[in-house]
Chain A
Amino acid sequence: MIELYVLLAAMIVAALVAIEIKDLLAAAVALGIVGFSVAIMFILLQAPDLAIVQVVVETLTVVFFAAVILRTTNSDTTIAGRFRHELIFPTVMYVTFGLVFLVLVGRALAGLPEFGNPTMLVAREYIALGLERTGAANVVAAVILDFRGYDTLGEATVLFTAVIGVLTLMRRAGRRELTSENRN
């Protein structure tokens, strides 16, 4: 599993670059490095479906970021060397929350099974009955489309709501707006 650790390290470094580099386009590319490392890690974790989806989604994410940045500006004017007073409160809140979060995560991870040894209480039944009940050779497909079909329906609702939001925001100016502009 040495590849997994190398990729995790690469992912952390790319994430730090993404949030600190001055050029926004470079930050988007660094975000792409994080996403593609996650995709390769999905392959190592024996999740080919996730890897396929992650590669497609990550490509689209970087394209969206690049489209927005190229149409606006790629220089981040907010990164300044000098100390800023507005940053005190967020930083204090972040450190406080981070410490509480770490304590809670430490307690939660103690209750999880060791890495590489899942309990699979629910999944055991899906694996045993997936092919017979649903006819799907891929157990993941059997779970999302059959055993947990209502989950997928709800998530599809969220997906299309977000798409409607994007279309509403990106549409061209309405007819009324156009005519009033023409008059002026």
Chain B
Amino acid sequence: MIPYFACILLVLIGLYAVVTKRNIVRIIIGFSLVEYAINLFFALVGFKREGIPPIITELGQSRSNFVDPLPQALVLTAIVIGLATTALMLALAMRIYEKYRTFDITEIRRLRG
């Protein structure tokens, strides 16, 4: 159960950055932390003690000690999408900096209009 709680702790750390930090880049870092925590949680749920990777290396091999392949398959695409959304957020942050010359979200609100 301890690895699960470490993941939950990482989610809370990332959420703390998203909610209370005022620098846009740090908010994006918080989002990335939450994403890593969720990905890791899925891999932890699928883990089996004394398990081996779910890859068939020879015909007629015993498949009873494979780890769960389903969470791994779900996470595999989620990791790549995480990269794309992080890149999108970073591109937005860069355009915001070009317009307002600051990463501070309270300053950006003041400069509106």
Contact = CB atoms under 8 A, between A and B. Distances in A.
Given A19-B26, A98-B12, A60 B20 contact: no
Interface residues of B, number: 78
A78 B88 contact: no
B55 A139 contact: yes
Given A16-B13, A61-B86, A159-B84, A50 B25 contact: no
A4 B3 contact: yes
A162 B45 CA distance: 28
Contact of A41 (B40, B69, B90, B93): B40
Interface string A50-86: 1001100100110011001101110011110000001
Contacts of A144: 73, 76-77
Contacts of B86: 61, 64
B90 to A, nearest CB: 5
A125 to B, nearest CB: 10
Nearest to A154: B77
4 smallest CB-CB distances across A and B, nearest first, come from A162-B84, A143-B73, A116-B49, A139-B54
Nearest to B7: A8
A127 B69 contact: yes
A102 interface: yes
A94 B15 contact: yes
Contact of B77 (A28, A79, A116, A155): A155
